Structure 1
Amino acid sequence: MNMPLKIVKIGNSAGVVLPKEMLAHLDVAVGEMLSVTKTPSGIELRVPATDFDAQLTAAREVMARRKRALRELAK
């Protein structure tokens, strides 16, 4: 799916409006979150993993418990 999108001013920021066909292709609705990733050829939009927040919380807990070991490994 390749379609041109116009950049519009939104307050002090800028954004693009996703057409309904693109929202349907991503299987998302207005108000849901998308993940944006920089790739060698541009950017990629995708629906974030449903368990990403839980994984991130667990990783932060481990990093907090093992702060000293991680600091030593980073040397």
Structure 2
Amino acid sequence: MFKTIIHTLDDGSGALLLPREMLDSLNLQVGDQFQIIEAEDGFILRPVCGSFEREMSAARDVMDKYDVALGKLAK
């Protein structure tokens, strides 16, 4: 279980900060988007399925790591 508080911003709105341990355990990154769903007993935070940029970055990492093998398979 993770705990956090809502912080007040200069414009009077609030910001919910997620602990680093939570981000790491859920493989979340700064800039990821969430849906906030009201439930009977609280809220549900649901990540919006990956962004195109993040998915392409992951694909490039894999292609760079296995460049030689992918080149041989392409022949």
Give the TM-score, by structure 2 length. Answer: 0.54
Which ranges of structure 2 fall in alignment gaps of 5 or more residues? 51-75
| Residues paired across the two proteins, number | 50
For 1:44, what is the secondary structure of its paired residue?
strand
CA contact (8 A) 2:2 2:22 kept: no
Change (3 A) 1:41 1:25: farther
Structure 1 residue ranges (4+ consecutive) displaced by more than 2 angstroms after TM superposition? 24-27
Give the TM-score, by structure 1 length. Answer: 0.54
Deviation at 1:8? 0.7
Deviation at 1:5? 1.0
Deviation at 1:4? 2.2
Which ranges of structure 1 fall in alignment gaps of 5 or more residues? 51-75
Q: Percent identity?
A: 27
RMSD of aligned alpha carbons: 2.0
* Aligned partner letter, 1:10: L
Q: Match for residue 5 of structure 2?
A: 6
Q: Match for residue 46 of structure 1?
A: 46
Counterparts of residues 1-75 of structure 1 (less than 5 Å) = 2-12=1-11, 13-49=13-49
CA contact (8 A) 2:2 2:19 kept: no
Change (3 A) 1:25 1:44: farther
